[in-house]
Amino acid sequence: MDSHNTPASTKDWIFLGIGVLLIAFLVYAAFSFARLLFGFLGNVDPTVGAALIAGMFTVLVGIGSTLVTQYIIKVRQAEEAHREAKISLYKQCLELAAAHLAEDNPNVQGKKLSDKGVANEYFHFKTELLLRGSPKVIQALENFEDVTSEGGDSIRAVDDIYREIRRDIGLTNKGLRPKELAGIYVKNSDRKEWFR
């Protein structure tokens, strides 16, 4: 059964209750601290109170900006590491496609795969894709499988996969014609036929 459709368990209700109590305690503590602070500042000379408030504000802004900066740096580092893993994964996909296309081309040297080899590599790619691929790349791959099984425009479906891969790693597709990315591996005369 899908965990998103299951009713809340007793454990969930306990965590919810603890969360509500914790929030209530934090709100009470904040109001108590504010009451004490304003009571203290009410008994202090106004110039000293203003200096204290300015000093506290400066410290809080410094701490806040440091925390935000550290958070942004960590997010960027995680995104960059994830992007590198995606590039490696997508490179495998492109190499797989190139090896499959090179099988019929006697002028291309390098890695050539049998149908069984392509199937094994493709299965491995799909497994990795589940961990690192964007939803749009996964959907484009599913669409490709549907289109090829139904005898549709497989070149367009491959082009869609390539576009989503590029978009996922932060590249733009602006200025590219339909099927242009898929046409990279195709002979120039065939490509000209597509774009007439």
Amino acid at 58: T
Contact 166, 156 (CB under 8 A): no
Give me the domain span that covers residue 47: 11-76
Percentage of the chain with pLDDT > 70? 83
Residues 119 and 168 placed together within one structural domain of the fold: yes
Mean pLDDT within 179-193: 74
Q: What Rg value do the Cα atoms of the chain yield, rounded?
A: 29
| Residue entry with tokens 């691929």 | 133
Residues 72 and 87 placed together within one structural domain of the fold: no
pLDDT interval class at 40 (50, 70, 90) = confident
Point out the domain boundary residue: 33, 56, 76.
76
Determine the length of the chain. 196
Residue that wins the pLDDT comparison between 102 and 42: 42
pLDDT(112) > 70: no
pLDDT(101) > 60: yes
Tell me the whole-structure pTM to 2 decimals: 0.60
- Give the pLDDT confidence score for residue 108 in this predicted structure: 65
How far is residue 176's CA from residue 164's CA, in Å, rounded to a whole number? Answer: 13
- Give the pLDDT confidence score for residue 36 in this predicted structure: 84
Asked if the structure places residue 178 within a domain, the reply is yes
Count of the separate structural domains present in the chain: 2
Residues 108 and 126 placed together within one structural domain of the fold: yes
Lowest mean pLDDT among 176-180, 182-186, 187-191: 187-191
pLDDT(156) > 60: yes
How far is residue 105's CA from residue 99's CA, in Å, rounded to a whole number? Answer: 10
Residues 88 and 166 placed together within one structural domain of the fold: yes
* Residue of 93, 98, 103 lying closest to 133 (CA atoms): 93
- Give the pLDDT confidence score for residue 105 in this predicted structure: 62
Residues 26 and 108 placed together within one structural domain of the fold: no
